[in-house]
């Protein structure tokens, strides 16, 4: 849009319809319109490439393009330009499909006047602007989420390392001193018993330190890879909850560190959901790779998740799964049926692979 008015590109093969549209916009008093007319999609695309436009009025039936393919071709190349579809067909299903695909409006030629057309153009521009602003805001929020997750994982690693190195060394030193005291005063029953009790307490503390460090950042994930980490986590979950876990890891792919962390955290979240909500007695997980993708499948035999539960805006665990794979254009598909369990499929493209 410039100071002279709204730049409208009309792509329409019927000269009579084009003339009528021009007259409608000329009679519109609210905002001045600068109309350019092209009779073919190829000509319209060329015009947009050269000069751009504030909005496009698009007939779907053109000599060189037919139906919704006309819209798809234009939108794929100029997604930033708002498009109002002009059709001679009062086809509701076609209108719904066009709008769902991104068209700002669908107008039937014989059912519009100048006021309606002018209003539709103005609203199309405003809606497109709002959509772009919302998309930018969502992108910024996603980038913030990604940065927060990355910072969180880095902080987990640092904390785990500090706890392991500092507290581990201190507890080992204390254990050695208490063991020395026990030997030194072995003839004193009271001191010997107290030393033994303290050594047991130190051993329990060291075990707790190792557990905390492992929960913060499992060493097995870095040293042995994602498959081994998932098998270890499944075993820990089974021992803790009594829910049977069966894990199959197919030979083929080892993913990079960031992707491994994302998939491992998704697996942890899935197990947490099983424990909290599923009332399941068994979990089956499968990690496999092929065609440049790694696929993690997790299913249980619980009560089954509903579509309503999947789409709830406060299902932060499920939303978190989606966001974890977003940086690599991955996908998380969740499905369930009553009393037949829930299934989660995570598909994540990988850039580099190597044999296990």
Q: Assign domain 219-349 to a CATH class.
A: alpha beta
**pLDDT for res 145:** 76
**pLDDT for res 3:** 61
Of the given ranges (160-164, 180-184, 232-236, 270-274), which has the lowest mean pLDDT? 160-164
**pLDDT for res 353:** 41
Largest separation between any pair of C-alpha atoms in the chain: 113
Q: What is the pLDDT of residues 242-265, one digit of tens each?
A: 999 999 998 755 677 788 888 999
Q: What is the pLDDT of residues 112-146, one digit of tens each?
A: 888 889 889 999 989 888 888 888 888 788 777 77
**pLDDT for res 5:** 85
Question: What number is the average pLDDT over the span 43-58?
Answer: 94
Would you list the domain boundaries of the chain? Answer: 6-112, 147-216, 219-349
**pLDDT for res 332:** 92
pTM of the predicted model, to two decimals?
0.62
Residue 320: C-alpha distances to residues 96, 139, 279, 282, 312 (Å)? 31, 15, 22, 24, 13
Q: What is the DSSP string of 141-200?
A: HHHHHHHHHHHHHHHHHHHHHHIIIIIHHHHHHHHHHHHHHHHHTTT-HHHHHHHHHHHH
> In which band, very low, low, confident or very high, does the pLDDT at 1 lie, cut at 50, 70 and 90?
low
Question: What number is the average pLDDT over the span 223-236?
Answer: 89
Taking alpha carbons only, the member of 92, 83, 38, 40 closest to residue 61 is 40
Q: What is the pLDDT of residues 301-336, one digit of tens each?
A: 999 888 887 777 767 778 888 888 888 888 999 998
> In which band, very low, low, confident or very high, does the pLDDT at 342 lie, cut at 50, 70 and 90?
very high
Q: Which fold has domain 6-112?
A: Rossmann fold (3.40.50)
> In which band, very low, low, confident or very high, does the pLDDT at 356 lie, cut at 50, 70 and 90?
very low
**Of 82 and 337, more confident:** 82
Beta strands at 105-108 and 83-87: parallel, antiparallel or unpaired? parallel
Q: For 306, how many CA atoms within 13 A lie in the half-sphere containing its CB? A: 4
Question: What number is the average pLDDT over the span 14-31?
Answer: 86
What average pLDDT is seen over the chain?
87
**pLDDT for res 2:** 58
The answer, yes or no, to whether residue 49 has pLDDT greater than 90, is: yes
Task: Report the alpha-carbon distance of residue 107 to residue 263 in Å, rounded.
Answer: 46
Taking alpha carbons only, the member of 284, 134, 157 closest to residue 215 is 157
Question: What number is the average pLDDT over the span 325-352?
Answer: 86
Task: Report the alpha-carbon distance of residue 111 to residue 319 in Å, rounded.
Answer: 43
Taking alpha carbons only, the member of 107, 121, 103, 105 closest to residue 54 is 121
Q: State the sign of the Cα–Cα–Cα–Cα dihedral 321, 323, 328, 330.
A: positive
């Amino acid at each position: 849009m410039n100071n002279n008015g709204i730049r409208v590109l009309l792509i329409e093969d019927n000269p009579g319809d084009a003339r009528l549209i021009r007259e409608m916009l000329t009679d519109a008093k609210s905002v001045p319109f600068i109309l350019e007319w092209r009779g073919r999609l190829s000509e319209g695309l060329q015009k947009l490439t050269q000069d751009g436009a504030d909005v496009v009025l698009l007939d779907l039936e053109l000599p060189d393009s037919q139906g919704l393919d006309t819209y798809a071709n234009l939108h794929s190349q100029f997604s930033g330009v708002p498009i109002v579809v002009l059709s001679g067909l009062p086809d509701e299903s076609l209108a719904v499909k066009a709008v769902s695909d991104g068209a700002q409006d669908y107008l039937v030629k014989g059912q519009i006047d100048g006021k309606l057309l002018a209003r539709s153009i103005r609203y199309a521009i405003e809606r497109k602007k709002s959509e772009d602003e919302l998309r930018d805001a969502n992108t910024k929020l996603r980038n913030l989420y990604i940065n927060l997750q990355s910072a969180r994982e880095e902080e987990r690693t640092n904390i785990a390392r500090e706890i392991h190195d500092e507290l581990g060394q201190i507890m080992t030193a204390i254990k050695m001193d208490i063991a020395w005291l026990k030997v030194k005063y072995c003839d004193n029953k009271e001191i010997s018993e107290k030393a033994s009790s303290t050594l047991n307490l130190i051993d329990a503390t060291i075990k707790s330190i190792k557990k905390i460090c492992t929960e913060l950042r499992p060493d097995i994930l870095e040293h042995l890879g994602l498959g081994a980490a998932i098998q270890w986590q499944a075993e820990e979950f089974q021992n803790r909850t009594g829910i049977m876990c069966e894990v199959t890891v197919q030979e083929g792919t080892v993913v990079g560190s960031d992707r491994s962390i994302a998939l491992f955290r998704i697996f942890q979240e899935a197990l947490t959901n099983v424990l909290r909500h599923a009332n399941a007695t068994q979990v089956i997980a499968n990690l496999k790779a092929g065609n440049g993708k790694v696929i993690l499948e997790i299913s249980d035999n619980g009560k089954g998740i509903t579509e309503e539960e999947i789409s709830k805006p406060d299902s932060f665990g499920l939303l978190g799964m989606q966001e974890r794979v977003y940086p690599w254009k991955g996908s998380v598909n969740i499905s369930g049926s009553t009393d037949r369990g829930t299934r989660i499929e995570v598909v994540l493209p990988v850039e580099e692979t190597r044999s296990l």
